[in-house]
Chains A and B, each alone.
Chain A
Amino acid sequence: MKSSVKIAPGAVVCDECELIGDITIGARTVIHPKARIIAEAGPVIIGEFNIIEELVHITNRFPDGAEGKKNSQVMVIGNNNVFEVGAQIESTKVGDHNVIESKAFVGPQVELTSGCIIGAACHVTTGEKLPENTVIYGAKCHRRIQRERPPAQNLQIDFLTKILPNYHYLKKVSKAQSPPK
């Protein structure tokens, strides 16, 4: 698969992460080493101010029975999301201000709107659009609705933008501009 990765200026993408396929990364997004973004069934568009930590697998998988059709679905991830260590995302639509905690699994039929928190090790696979500000927590995936969305992580993004280049090589910013959202 030929990789075409467009990295907007301001994004911090470590060199040790695996980016396969047609991927667009927005400004001020931080991608830690050992993250994997695989755009198998179509392009993956990642917005701005996201934090994608280690061992996160963002996979745009072929839907069942439609193997081999390239560019069939576009995976869109919005702004200000946090993907904690070990999370696995196969959902095609992720909105803004979501937090997907460690080792959570979000299946391909799920659609995350904004402000959702998927708790640690929760497997969410039902085909639905989660209402805004939903919190899924616990071994039995209990749900509740928050009053307000999770706090923004701008401080953390500033810190990472300063510190990560001291310890890791970064992928080069592409000269082509990222498509406007």
Chain B
Amino acid sequence: MTSLTKMATFMDVNLVRYLCTCGKRLPPCRLYLCRHCLKLRCADCVQHEVDSPYCPNCLENMPASEAKLKKNRCSNCFDCPICGHTLMTRATSQMVPSSEDPSKSTPKKMYYMACSFCRWTTRDGGLADQSTSNGGWKDEENPEAKRINTLLESYRSIAQREKAEKERKKYVKRRSHAGFQDRYGLTSVAMKWKIQPAMSNLSVKETEKVPPAPELVSPVEDFDPLPSEIFSDIVQLDKVTYLSHRLNAPEFQPPATKDLRPVHKHLLVRRSLRCRECDHNLSKPDFNPLSIKFKIQLIALNHIPEIRIMAPATFSVNKETVVTFTLSNPSVYSTVVKLLPIEGDTDLDYMTAKVDLPKSDLVLALHDDTAVYDDGTKAQQEFKDDPRVVVFRRANKLGFAAKVTPFCKEGEVKVSFMMKHEFRNTAAAIQSEDKEPKLEWLEHRIFINLGRIQL
């Protein structure tokens, strides 16, 4: 596996897992390393923050306030009301009587929208073709819009009045009549009269503007009984909408498929992740929705040595099997890795086999991007490797052998051990002077699932 930039890994393979601080075990591609607390975090124990909403189809970035106005929908892109796929604009040419000579007809391009998956078109919904390619699809107004607006307005003004009253109360409470009496030598009653006009001014202003309360909707007392045709009419299932179709348009909820209209596409959100303990950003994407680069990207895969199972092996109870693992170093400094067994943990969920790890420290070379272009003539760093432990060594990768003895009769072979490695904190070093970044030892607990025991 060679890659020109950072290493790639398998997102779906969950065999080698690292323990996160919240207790979950996840592969390193799903974990983040907080470089200030020096701990592993997963997507569930970090804080998600909204960076910016964007449309997944036209990739238009929208500021959050504008998105709120548009109810988090894109104004140009539509979804099929039946299957939810993106609608595509198609052109047909229609013969239209030309403006100069009414008797002749010239071809004119008309546009309609169609779904490429379920083949729904705007013509199915009864909408006429538009003459412009990108616009013209009008939104229908909510039939209850007027009533909702009057309700909103009246409640808004009530809320404003309540807020003003609260502030007034606070203001009035702070004044103590005893204090005024002493300062100005007037009786408290006179002071009250003096204060009141100032306050009453305020209250008069508020009460003047009280809008009339919205008229109450009278409850429906009775309605027509169920027509008997419901029982005798044949149900045409293709003309009736599904519940999911109706709920996609909650203002109209059309019961007939011919009334379905295109739905505006929902916006997605670019999010940035923040460590809960030290409040530093773990992952911050670029502002442009088109770009996949990150401003800050602290994925564990890019900082912590990764262990992978090199080849499958067959296991039987109480028999020792040699398994080879690869260890690769993603950082630009060489690392020393110590593998330590865990004593005294008999939790069968995590460990069903005993593992004999290499006792000596494993030294890993640094990850060199330019090594890909080398012909191999450059003199490489010499490492003294015990050939029984280190199976091979190439660039920043190392293969080591471990003996695994399962002590369960059946089930999956799981091993667990601790990995201690050197970590040079490059982020903190940038802030201080350009000395060598401080060396720290990080410890992680690793869980590996090696497969089932052969019976």
Contact = CB atoms under 8 A, between A and B. Distances in A.
Interface in B68-96: 82-83, 92
B118 interface: yes
A138 B119 contact: no
A108 B219 CA distance: 59
B36 interface: no
B6 to A, nearest CB: 36
A142 B118 contact: yes
B118 A147 contact: no
Contacts of B124: 146-147
Scoring A119, A137, A150 by chain B CB atoms within 10 A of each residue's CB, the highest score goes to: A137
A137 B123 contact: no
A125 B342 CA distance: 58
A148 B118 contact: no
Given A144-B82, A146-B124, A147-B124, A137 B238 contact: no
A135 B83 contact: no
A135 B119 contact: yes
Contacts of A117: 119
Contacts of A138: 83, 117-118
Nearest to A144: B238
A23 to B, nearest CB: 30
Contact of A137 (B92, B118, B121, B257): B118
B177 to A, nearest CB: 76
Contacts of B120: 144, 146
Given A143-B238, A145-B238, A135 B123 contact: no
Contacts of A137: 83, 117-119
Size category of the binding interface on chain B: 10 to 19
Contacts of A146: 119-121, 124
B97 to A, nearest CB: 23
A150 B123 contact: no
Nearest to B82: A144
Interface in A92-151: 117, 119, 135, 137-138, 142-148, 150-151
Nearest to A143: B238
Interface in A37-53: none
Contacts of B118: 119, 135, 137-138, 142, 144
A146 B117 CA distance: 13
Nearest to A142: B118
Scoring A135, A144, A150, A151 by chain B CB atoms within 10 A of each residue's CB, the highest score goes to: A144
Contacts of A151: 92
Nearest to A131: B238
A148 B123 contact: yes
Scoring A117, A119, A145, A148 by chain B CB atoms within 10 A of each residue's CB, the highest score goes to: A145
Contacts of B83: 137-138, 142
A48 B238 CA distance: 31
Interface in B178-235: none
Nearest to B257: A144
A147 B123 contact: yes
A150 B119 contact: yes
Contacts of A150: 119
A152 to B, nearest CB: 11
Scoring B119, B120, B124 by chain A CB atoms within 10 A of each residue's CB, the highest score goes to: B119
Interface in B107-129: 117-121, 123-124
A138 B92 CA distance: 27
Interface in B410-427: none
A32 to B, nearest CB: 22
A156 to B, nearest CB: 15
Nearest to B123: A147
Contacts of B92: 151
A42 B123 CA distance: 41
A147 B120 CA distance: 9
Contacts of B238: 143-145
A140 B181 CA distance: 84
B255 to A, nearest CB: 15
A10 to B, nearest CB: 25
Scoring A143, A147, A148 by chain B CB atoms within 10 A of each residue's CB, the highest score goes to: A147
A151 B93 CA distance: 12
A137 B238 CA distance: 14
Nearest to B238: A145
Interface string B237-281: 010000000000000000001000000000000000000000000
A117 B124 CA distance: 15
A107 to B, nearest CB: 22
A145 B241 CA distance: 12
A142 B82 CA distance: 11
A20 B183 CA distance: 116
A117 B116 CA distance: 12
Interface of A: 117, 119, 135, 137-138, 142-148, 150-151
15 contacts: A137-B83, A137-B117, A137-B118, A137-B119, A138-B83, A138-B118, A143-B238, A144-B82, A144-B118, A144-B120, A146-B120, A146-B121, A147-B124, A148-B123, A151-B92
Closest 10 CB pairs of A and B: A145-B238, A137-B118, A147-B124, A135-B119, A117-B119, A144-B238, A137-B117, A147-B123, A146-B119, A135-B118
Given A119-B118, A145-B238, A150-B119, 17 more contacts: A117-B119, A119-B117, A137-B118, A137-B119, A138-B83, A138-B117, A142-B118, A144-B82, A144-B120, A144-B257, A146-B119, A146-B120, A146-B124, A147-B123, A147-B124, A148-B123, A151-B92
